[in-house]
Structure 1
Amino acid sequence: MLSSCLPRPSRLGFAALALLSLLTACTSTRHPPEALAPLLGDIEQRLALATPVALSKWDSGQPVEDRPRERQVIDRAAERAREWQVDPAWARQLFADQIEASKISQHASLDAWKRQGQAPQTPRLNLATQIRPALDDLQERMLQDMAHFAPYRADGACRQWLADRQRQVQGDASYLQAWHQATASLCAR
Structure 2
Amino acid sequence: MLPSTSVRHALTAAAVTTALFASAAPGFAAERQSTAQTGQAAQAGQTGQASQAGHTGKPGPYAQLHPLASLSAERLATADLVAAAKWGTGSPIDDPAREQVVLDTVRKQAVETGADPEATVRVFRDQIEANKLVQRELHRLWTADPSKVPAERPDLAEVRKEINRVNTALVQAIAGSATARSASYCRGVLAVSALQVRHEKQLDRLHFKALARAVPSVCAEQD
- Taking the aligned partners of 1:113 and 1:91, their CA distance within structure 2 comes to 33
Higher relative helix content:
2
- Taking the aligned partners of 1:76 and 1:167, their CA distance within structure 2 comes to 29
- Taking the aligned partners of 1:94 and 1:41, their CA distance within structure 2 comes to 14
Matched residue, 2:38: none
Letter aligned with residue 104 of structure 1: L
- Taking the aligned partners of 1:81 and 1:165, their CA distance within structure 2 comes to 23
Q: Does 1:181 align with 2:210?
A: no
Give the structure-1-normalised TM-score.
0.77
- Taking the aligned partners of 1:166 and 1:34, their CA distance within structure 2 comes to 12
- Taking the aligned partners of 2:219 and 2:93, their CA distance within structure 1 comes to 28
Contact 1:58 1:119 (C-alpha < 8 Å) held by counterparts:
no
Q: Does 1:146 align with 2:174?
A: yes
- Taking the aligned partners of 1:125 and 1:165, their CA distance within structure 2 comes to 30
Which of 63, 70, 77 does residue 41 from structure 1 map onto? 70
Q: Does 1:161 align with 2:162?
A: no
Give the structure-2-normalised TM-score.
0.66
Q: Counterpart of 2:67 in 1: which secondary structure?
A: helix
Matched residue, 2:103: 74
Gaps of 5+ in 1: 1-27
Task: Report 1 or 2 for greater relative contact order, CA contacts < 8 Å, sequence distance ≥ 6.
Answer: 2
Displacement of 1:99 in angstroms is: 0.5
Displacement of 1:118 in angstroms is: 4.2
Displacement of 1:122 in angstroms is: 4.1
Q: Counterpart of 1:125 in 2: which secondary structure?
A: coil
String of CA shifts for 1:119-176, please: whole Å, max 9, x gaps.
Answer: 4334432001x11111111111111111111121121111001222344424444323
Contact 1:55 1:119 (C-alpha < 8 Å) held by counterparts:
no
- Taking the aligned partners of 1:139 and 1:166, their CA distance within structure 2 comes to 18
Q: Which of the pair has more CA radius of gyration? A: 1
Contact 2:65 2:181 (C-alpha < 8 Å) held by counterparts:
no
Q: Per the alignment, do residues 166 and 41 of structure 1 end up closer, same or farther by CA in structure 2, a change over 3 Å counting?
A: closer
- Taking the aligned partners of 1:171 and 1:65, their CA distance within structure 2 comes to 24
Matched residue, 1:105: 134
Which of 152, 160, 183 does residue 132 from structure 1 map onto? 160
Identity of counterpart residues, as a percentage? Answer: 33
Q: Per the alignment, do residues 38 and 45 of structure 1 end up closer, same or farther by CA in structure 2, a change over 3 Å counting?
A: same
Structure 1 range deviating more: 139-148 or 158-167: 158-167
